[in-house]
Structure 1
Amino acid sequence: MDVHVPRTRAAARLRVLPVLARAAVLLAALSACSGSPDRAEEPTRQAAQPAAARQAGDLESEYQKVIRDVLPSVVQIEGRKELGSGVVYDTRGHIVTNAHVVGDEKQFQVTTANSEDPLSATLVSSYPQQDLAVVKLDKVPDGLRAATFADSGTVEVGQIVLAMGSPLGLSSSVTQGIVSATGRTVTEGRSGGGTGATLGNMVQTSAAINPGNSGGALVNLDGQVVGIPTLAAVDPNLGSGAAPGIGFAIPSSMVKTIADQIVKDGKVTDSGRAALNITGRTVVNDDYQAAGVAVVEVADGGAADKAGLRPGDVITGLGEAKITTITSLAEALADDRPGQRTTITYTRDGRTRTVDVTLGEQ
């Protein structure tokens, strides 16, 4: 799926509307279509209506509680060129966001949900390969509240989630939806400042993700961050327009893995991302169709080097995956782990060959 990174600017709040209120009205309408109830059934039907209203009210209260609890931990981040969102990672002032939000800048202005006065912040480190970065407030304000990050392995399709951030610069905005799918692998475009990263195990959501939501929080009804909204799908029929209701978030467990290393060591020391340790380029066949990845350079001692690959080889398969482009190779690797054994199918001197390989780390 072709995806791109949203961008940002503006300021206002969105109120989340409950879905069960409409469901209750529809249920009442369907009951009415089933025939006229006799008088003995009328009190029962009348009693059910307030119960449905209470249920909708309970859901609305739950939404509002989650918003009150989590929104103070969601901030707006502004640099010279970009504006996006971030999530307070700890009470020492570390804030996690997307690498494409910070770009190549080092200094930022951060605005919290409880204040209109911006705070200065400095980049700790950026990791574009996973589109994550951490910045740190230069001065930590009193009462700074860190978000709680969930184990994203517990995220299930159909869960209600809220997206919090600054879409189009509308700070402290909230939208709602569900988890539409898990385990998606998507490749971020480079246009508009994207990192070009291939991201695995993404959470797909129907909650609206607009320019400026990038780096914010995707939150479950327990008030836990389950992901960092990062990408919106592009509908080819809309040109560069985002496809409504299809957004992607980096899962919270990956966010914690990367952010913990940056906070502790100032950089990523163990990416958890598999690699062949080559430089390659997409090649085409006689019909000008993408037909594989030509090896341009092999890193000494890397996975491909140990497997015997050399410049000029053309990779056409990795495990069960067919490889036709650099992107398809990156997506296949995104599903694997460093140290995992698999096979590479490649051509050399017109002959197709297969070799076992132990994957390295990116």
Structure 2
Amino acid sequence: MLIAGLIGGVVGTMLAQNGRNGSVGVLGQPLPGVEEGAAPTTPVEAVAARVLPSVVQLRVDTPGATGEGSAMVLSADGLLLTNNHVVEAAAQSGTVTAVFDDGRTAAALIVGRDPSSDVAVIRAQNVTGLVPVELGNSDSVRVGQQVVAFGAPLGLGGTVTTGIISAVDRAVNVGPETGANTPTVLNALQTDAAINPGNSGGPLVDMQGRVVGINSAIATTGAQGGSIGVGFSIPVNQARRVAEELERTGRASRAVLGVTVEDNPQQAGAIIREVVPGGAAEQAGIRPDDVVLRFGDQRISTGTDLQAAVGSRAPGEVVDVQLGDRTVQVTLIAAPN
């Protein structure tokens, strides 16, 4: 027993010394080399390399609070696109600071904002050499298509997540839970790419790195507001029209149908309750108690669906409206300023 104990002690000492002198396992192996400037090896990596230089983190400071959000570069001299609800609090008394991918920071001023579409255009001051995004065509987006979301969730700038388009033409209410003072309804792209507070205003892009949407809202199951894989983005075609008007005039026009609607849980469609005299609906022959089933190529199940569909169009557009017993053509008019 004494000899066995002595041998065991010697072996244990030798093993301990070997452990201190260097492992014979993977811990003792050298690190792989770093390939400087190596080309991206995955599609998402390639998209991230292309888009990240155009993504901006926003810090919004007001007398009573501090907020954060995201934006994307529209021009090399500092024009940025974001959500209205990101910068709305700073419109009266507050400041917006843009933090760029290369580490530069700049004060940003609001050029124009539109609560009804939740779009805003701002300009970073005294900057040059920024990398603008490439805008895609959101009308070509398909359910199941892979997309990549960019932004600064929870203040973590340069965050990249990926997923698919889960649905198109999704009617989404945006209100105080997103930080918006003015409630509105969006006709949105739905995605399961992780979007969290702070992502708002950042780009949703296709696998060519082209912007197809502005990350704007999420569905949640509790007060914490974290991602559950149900995020919503404003289609870029809608945002582009609004942004062009905001840059040019500081305000945006909004299409209206000229009706009030109600829902019947037992019946699909938006039920027309009242028709505004002289409005687009009356001129097209729409009457109270008509039921709207389709607006253009969009199926209408509720009044919210109809509100979102109308809001996604421009004044002057001509749209086929399918009612319960007939189809009419409506020329949308602009809402009064």
Whole-angstrom CA distance in 1 between matches of 2:169 and 2:281: 26
Which residue among 120, 123, 145 is the counterpart of 1:136?
A: 123
3-state SS of 2:135 partner: coil
Tell me the percent identity: 32
Which residue among 107, 112, 115 is the counterpart of 2:100?
A: 112
Describe how 1:175-186 pairs up with structure 2 within 5 A.
175-181=161-167, 183-186=168-171
Whole-angstrom CA distance in 1 between matches of 2:281 and 2:212: 35
3-state SS of 2:133 partner: coil
Name the structure 1 match of 2:291. Answer: 317
Distance 1:138 1:332, change over 3 A: closer
Displacement after TM superposition at 1:220 (Å):
2.5
Could you say which structure has the larger radius of gyration? 2
Displacement after TM superposition at 1:213 (Å):
0.4
Q: Give the letter aligned to residue 317 of structure 1.
A: V
1:215 and 1:230 in contact (8 A); partners too:
yes
The structure, 1 or 2, with the larger RCO (C-alpha pairs under 8 Å, 6+ apart) is: 1
1:248 maps to 2:232: yes
Q: Give the letter aligned to residue 66 of structure 1.
A: V
Name the structure 2 match of 1:159. Answer: 145
3-state SS of 1:102 partner: helix
Name the structure 2 match of 1:233. Answer: 219
Displacement after TM superposition at 1:60 (Å):
4.1
Name the structure 1 match of 2:330. Answer: 358
Describe how 1:56-95 pairs up with structure 2 within 5 A.
60-79=41-60, 80=62, 81=65, 82-95=67-80
Displacement after TM superposition at 1:59 (Å):
6.9
Distance 1:276 1:344, change over 3 A: farther
Displacement after TM superposition at 1:167 (Å):
0.2
Name the structure 2 match of 1:340. Answer: 319
Whole-angstrom CA distance in 1 between matches of 2:111 and 2:171: 26
Displacement after TM superposition at 1:260 (Å):
2.1
Displacement after TM superposition at 1:284 (Å):
9.1
| TM score, norm. by length of structure 2 | 0.69
Whole-angstrom CA distance in 2 between matches of 1:355 and 1:61: 48
Aligned-CA RMSD value: 3.6
Whole-angstrom CA distance in 2 between matches of 1:176 and 1:216: 13
1:303 and 1:358 in contact (8 A); partners too:
yes
Q: Which moved more, 1:256-265 or 1:313-322?
A: 313-322
Displacement after TM superposition at 1:71 (Å):
1.0
Whole-angstrom CA distance in 2 between matches of 1:174 and 1:87: 14
Displacement after TM superposition at 1:125 (Å):
0.8
Distance 1:328 1:177, change over 3 A: closer
Q: Size of the alignment, in residue pairs?
A: 281
3-state SS of 1:69 partner: helix
2:190 and 2:232 in contact (8 A); partners too:
yes
Give per-residue Cα distances to partners, 1:183-211, cap 9 Å, x unaligned: 222222322333432222x3222210000
Which residue among 184, 193, 197 is the counterpart of 1:211?
A: 197
Give per-residue Cα distances to partners, 1:38-57, cap 9 Å, x unaligned: xxxxxxxxxxxxxxxxxxx9
Give per-residue Cα distances to partners, 1:247-299, cap 9 Å, x unaligned: 12122222222222222333324x5x4x2235x475999xxxxx95643x83x
Whole-angstrom CA distance in 1 between matches of 2:120 and 2:72: 11
2:84 and 2:113 in contact (8 A); partners too:
yes
1:84 and 1:169 in contact (8 A); partners too:
yes
Displacement after TM superposition at 1:111 (Å):
1.0
| TM score, norm. by length of structure 1 | 0.65
Which residue among 235, 239, 243 is the counterpart of 1:259?
A: 243
Which residue among 258, 282, 297 is the counterpart of 1:277?
A: 258
Distance 1:198 1:359, change over 3 A: farther
1:315 and 1:323 in contact (8 A); partners too:
no
Name the structure 1 match of 2:158. Answer: 172
Distance 1:60 1:104, change over 3 A: same
3-state SS of 2:229 partner: strand
